[in-house]
A and B are shown apart, each in its own frame.
Chain A
Amino acid sequence: MPQANTSNPPQKRTRVAVVAAGIVSPLGFGLIETAESLRNARDCVTPVTRFSVESCRCKTAGQIADDRLLNCSTGRMQRPERLHRASRMMICALQEMLAQAMAFEPELTVVGTTSGGMTFGEEYYRTLHGRQKTRGTPSWIANYPPQKPVIDAQEALGLSAPCQVIANACASGTNAIGHAFECVRSGRYRRVLTGGYDALSELVFVGFDSLQAATPEKCRPFDSGRTGLVLGEGAAVLALENFDLAQARGAPILAEITGYGISTDNHHLTQPNPSGIGPRQAMERALESAQLAPEAIDYINAHGTATPFNDTVEGKAIAELFDHVPISSTKGMMGHSLGAAGAVEAAISILALQHQFLPPNIHFRSGDPELGLNIVANAARPAKIRTVLSNSFGFGGTNASVIIQSAAA
């Protein structure tokens, strides 16, 4: 049976502008530092310091320095000492975004995460298990829920939009941007805040390690000798606005989101269908949503986790749909930030469009000859690009793709 495109088709063609963005990741604080790290192909993966990894295969991750995070302003937030790191990341990213679009008041906020304030839950459990005094625990409990970082960030910066928090595993960030895009494109909303966040936690780190999905070596997306992912953390936000309204008020337009595709691959909870149908459907639906042919895509920011399974399946789907389009995964530089990844990579895609370069896929040695992908190997490249496709896939068989175009495209 033919499948309906359950991503919203362009029945109503309200254009969707990205009028501001903010980002915090191991690549840097803010768009300028991030672009600089991308251009210089910086490897920002470092030995894990937040918890013991002695018994893990993998010992590294992309981490955000606590000293800088703690020095970020927390706005109007009362008792900032109780904030989780994920809340601080969101506050930093949102602050940068609002500095570009001070008048931006969203009617709705749609963000992605996988674990919110997970480490507070870990501390709570360790305290219980160690039969220690539980005096500080009410604060951990109140600040543990996954929606808390975005609510904190809004409160800190004087926003009060209702929050839809999507937890579609590693596709959460792209799903959030895609749903936010559809909300504006449908004409039901004029302004939607979107993005994603996740902070490194022991439980998730050990989880990926137990699945042997994490590598003890370098993270080498799409390399024939790839051995797995490394984790990361971060937050990124985008301000989406009805294009015509943004233009009418003279807002600077960073980029335009033109397509979104979502698919669900029911093969297995943690493994994609080897046929590549899940990623392929997501990309096809994004193209259909944008009313673009595959040839219109100038660059793909791949999910590219560097696990043998993901990269084979994603690479197969890309090779079937596209003809030698430049591809990179930026996860080799900063790790896989899970629920933040889609948002971080959307911000990276916008930087690529703005500064006309292809972000690098570092630690790449040799490609898979069966796939024949055009990998942007090891160094950023200047390029004329107008249209970018960004992929995110996750546990539960959830697949999402968004298409971002330069505002002038």
Chain B
Amino acid sequence: MSLAIRGMGWITPLGANIADVWSKLLEGKEATAETISSPISPRTYQAFRIAESVAAHPRLRRSSAISHFAVAAGLAALKDAGFDSQRDAARTALIFATSNGGVIYTKRFYHDIVASGAQSASPLLFPETVFNAPASHLSAILGITGASYTVVGDGAIGLLALKMAEDLMQNEALEFCLVVGAEEADWLLCDAYRKWRLLRKTPPVEPFLTSPKGMILSEGGGAIVIGRGGTIEIEKVAAGGNYPRQKDAAEILGRVFAELGANRADIIVASANGTFIDLAERDALLRIFPGALVYTMKPALGESVGASAIWQVIVAAQALLTHQVPPVLHSRVESPLQTPSATMTNDSMRTAVVSACGLNQQVAGLRLTLGAEAKQPAAKTVSAATMGRF
């Protein structure tokens, strides 16, 4: 039996549940940026952040925001999947994906060392700086005592985690694999990405420009429960490879698209975020599948790095389930790609390809298919007026 998505959870700056975030994306809304500053520098940045606490549990009382995002997204996905902790925890594996981890506590911990010396280092903060702290909290809350893995990488890590889930599910003793991606935004990350010439200081994020202007950092969590059989089937995960230089990314992406049969996909959910990634994806798509319908959520939700590929998979699954694609915001006419400028509906949409090109050399892809048992949504037709830009 093929693997399928059995449940999803989505914590974003635009909302904290699937239905809410999806309807806002369809309405063309975008997150509101917040200015973040630092006592060690006059520079300020804007990021899409989550203002309210999204998870409450005694285990989380000293934990960083990333753990809250991971737990909230994970619990929502499991609820969506009908998970029963008593019944299912022993047959469930957990994979947690992140890029920068608990950077807020890590910065605070190291700041004390730099500012006041090693004797000031907090033994309470240090354990929360390890990459697997969020997974540990989530395992404890769920009662998972078997396989729990934290994997680290760039914006492609969510798909590499799904590849790992596919490998783990070869074990027939496992019924489910919960894959969670999370990231927290911080001034330090903004400063670093800015120095790396990948961040713009204020929104909007303008995708697929010939001269990319940069991304806006975001935070939150996304979670997917993988099971055996279901409405949204994971047809293939391509673990891709690593590009040595930015200019080589398009070539690896092209290989991933070819492996996934992207030219037979009804929609490509891209990772374009206003950086060189946009050019790589554009070049690869124009070479492999010039007529592709392409969507990126990053103008609306920002770049959530370790969470972003899981968010893309959620978008792809939602598109297949609802037969709708939200508008790509702030997309200028100069893009040769076919991107919807308003919400579009396509009842025949059955396959989606997710493209994940990270900022730090990793590339992966995934192909989803709407299973035969999926209900047809209310009939609507594709409007050429919504199809946008050539």
CB distance from A75 to the nearest CB of B (A): 12
User: What is the CB-to-nearest-CB distance from B235 to chain A, in angstroms, rounded to a whole number?
Assistant: 16
Q: Residue-by-residue, is A1-14 near B (CB-CB < 8 Å gives 1, otherwise 0)?
A: 11111111101000
Interface centre among A114, A126, A167 (most CB of B within 10 A): A167
| With A167-B131, A212-B123, A266-B143: A6-B150 Cβ-Cβ less than 8 Å | no
Q: Which of A26-34, A134-142, A248-256 contacts B (4 or more CB under 8 A)?
A: A134-142
A398–B138 alpha-carbon span in the complex (Å): 13
Residue of B nearest to A209 (CB): B118
Q: Chain A residues with Cβ under 8 A from B191's Cβ?
A: 128
Q: Are A179 and B164 in contact (CB under 8 A)?
A: yes
**B114 near A6: Cβ-Cβ < 8 Å:** no
B335 / chain A contacts, CB cutoff of 8 Å: none
Docked Cα-Cα span, A203 to B102, in Å, equals 14
- Residues in A whose Cβ lies below 8 Å from that of B40: 128-129, 131
Complex-state Cα separation, A206 to B113, whole angstroms: 8
Min distance, Cβ A91 to any Cβ of chain B, angstroms: 14
Taking the complex as formed, is A270 at the interface, i.e. its CB lies under 8 A from any CB of chain B? yes
Which B residues are in CB contact (< 8 Å) with A101?
A: none
Asked whether A207 lies within 8 Å of B114 as measured between CB atoms, the reply is: no
Q: Are A396's CB and B123's CB within 8 A?
A: no
Q: Does A188 contact B (CB under 8 A)?
A: yes
Q: Which of B220-256 contact A (CB under 8 A)?
A: 239-242, 244
Minimal beta-carbon separation of A208 from chain B (angstroms): 8
Interface 0/1 of B133-148, CB less than 8 Å to A? 1011101100111111
Task: Give chain B residues whose Cβ lies under 8 Å from the Cβ of A53.
Answer: 118
CB of A281 within 8 A of chain B? yes
Q: How far is the CB of B180 from chain A (nearest CB, A)?
A: 14
Interface size counted on chain A using CB atoms at 8 A: 76
A164 lies within 8 A of B151 (CB)? yes
CB distance B170 to A166 under 8 Å?
A: no
A5 CA / B119 CA spacing, docked (Å): 43
The verdict on A395 contacting B127 (CB below 8 Å), with A128-B191, A206-B113 known, is yes
Q: How far is the CA of A169 from the CA of B174 in the complex (A)?
A: 24
Chain B 90-140 residues near chain A, CB threshold 8 A: 90-91, 93, 99, 101, 106-107, 109-111, 113-115, 117-119, 121-123, 126-133, 135-137, 139-140
Tell whether A125 pairs with B111 under 8 Å between CB atoms, given A162-B240, A263-B146: yes
Q: A129 touching B111 by the CB < 8 A rule?
A: yes
B contact residues around A206 at 8 Å (CB): 113, 118, 121
User: Which residues on B sit within 8 Å (CB–CB) of A179?
Assistant: 149, 164, 167-168
> Is the CB–CB distance between B106 and A395 below 8 Å?
no
Interface residues of B in 149-166 (CB under 8 A from A): 149-154, 160, 163-164
A289 to chain B, nearest CB (A): 10
Contact mask for chain A residues 177-192; partner B; CB cutoff 8 A; 1 contact, 0 none:
0010011001010000
Given A179-B164, A270-B127, A281-B145, A207-B170 contact (CB < 8 Å): no
A168 interfacial by beta-carbon distance below 8 Å: yes
Tell me if A122 and B110 are in contact (CB < 8 A). yes
- Of A52, A154, A396, which is within 8 A of B136 by CB? A396
User: Is B53 in contact with chain A by the CB < 8 A criterion?
Assistant: no
CA distance A165 to B145 in the complex (A): 21
Of the candidates A108, A148, A164, the one having the most CB atoms from chain B within 10 angstroms of its own CB is A164
* Contacting residues of chain B (47-75) with chain A, CB-CB under 8 angstroms: none
Residue of A nearest to B126 (CB): A207
Q: How far is the CA of A196 from the CA of B163 in the complex (A)?
A: 20
What is the chain A residue whose CB lies nearest that of B42?
A131
CA distance A164 to B167 in the complex (A): 12
Cross-chain contact A125 with B107 (CB below 8 angstroms): yes
Whether the Cβ atoms of A264 and B362 lie closer than 8 Å is: no
Shortest Cβ distance from B97 into chain A, in angstroms?
10
Q: Are B151 and A167 in contact (CB under 8 A)?
A: yes
Interface: A265 (CB within 8 A): yes
Query: What B residues does A356 contact at CB under 8 A?
Result: none
Q: What mask results when residues 369 to 409 of chain A are scored 1 for a CB within 8 Å of chain B, else 0?
A: 00000000000000000000000001111100000000000
Taking a contact as CB atoms under 8 Å apart, the answer to whether A164 and B145 are in contact is no
Cα A110 to Cα B78 in complex, Å, equals 27
Closest to B103 in A: A121
- In the complex, the answer to whether A4 meets B173 with C-beta atoms within 8 Å is yes
Partner of B132, one of A126, A262, A265, A394: A394
Q: Does A155 contact B (CB under 8 A)?
A: yes
A395 x B152 contact (CB < 8 A) = no
Distance to closest chain B CB from A110 (angstroms): 8
A160 contacts B by Cβ under 8 Å: yes
A25-54 residues at the B interface, CB under 8 angstroms: 52-54
Docked CA distance A164–B114 (Å): 32
- State whether A55 touches B153 (Cβ < 8 A): no
Q: In whole angstroms, how far apart are the Cα atoms of A52 and B137 in the complex?
A: 33
Tell me whether A186 and B362 are in contact (CB under 8 A). Answer: no
Contacting residues of chain A (197-228) with chain B, CB-CB under 8 angstroms: 202-203, 206-212
- Is the Cβ of A141 less than 8 Å from the Cβ of B132? no
Query: Is the Cβ of B90 less than 8 Å from the Cβ of A1?
Result: yes
Q: Are A145 and B360 in contact (CB under 8 A)?
A: yes
Interface residue? A124 (CB, 8 A):
yes
For A55, give its contact among B99, B119, B195, B239 (CB under 8 Å).
B119
B143, B153, B239: the one within 8 Å of A147 (CB): B153
Q: Is B5 an interface residue (CB 8 A)?
A: no
Inside 8 A of A207's CB, which chain B residues have their CB? 109, 121, 126, 129
CB-CB < 8 A to A296: which residues of B? none
The answer, yes or no, to whether A321 is at the interface (CB within 8 Å) is no
- Closest residue of chain B to A124 (Cβ to Cβ) is B192
List the B side residues contacting A272 at CB < 8 Å.
none
The listed residue with most B CB atoms (<10 A of its CB), out of A54, A56, A169, A266, is A266
Whether B127 and A55, one on each chain, are in contact in the complex, defined by CB atoms closer than 8 angstroms, is no
Neighbouring B residues of A122 by C-beta, 8 Å = 110
Query: CA separation between A206 and B115, bound complex, in Å?
Result: 14
Q: How far is B122's CA from A122's CA once the two chains are assembled, in angstroms?
A: 17
How far apart are the CA atoms of A214 and B198 in the complex, in Å? 39
Shortest Cβ distance from B239 into A: residue: A162
Q: Does A22 contact B (CB under 8 A)?
A: no
CA distance A344 to B197 in the complex (A): 37
CA distance A128 to B163 in the complex (A): 38
Q: Which residues of B contact A (CB under 8 A)?
A: 40-41, 86, 90-91, 93, 99, 101, 106-107, 109-111, 113-115, 117-119, 121-123, 126-133, 135-137, 139-140, 143-154, 160, 163-164, 167-168, 170-174, 188, 191-193, 195-197, 239-242, 244, 360-362, 364
Extra inter-chain contacts (16) besides given A134-B195, A207-B129, A211-B123, CB under 8 Å: A4-B174, A6-B147, A9-B172, A114-B131, A125-B188, A145-B152, A147-B152, A162-B242, A163-B160, A165-B151, A186-B167, A206-B113, A207-B109, A264-B139, A397-B140, A398-B132
Sample (10) of A-B pairs whose CB atoms are under 8 Å apart: A3-B145, A5-B173, A7-B171, A9-B173, A113-B152, A137-B195, A208-B126, A209-B121, A264-B139, A396-B133
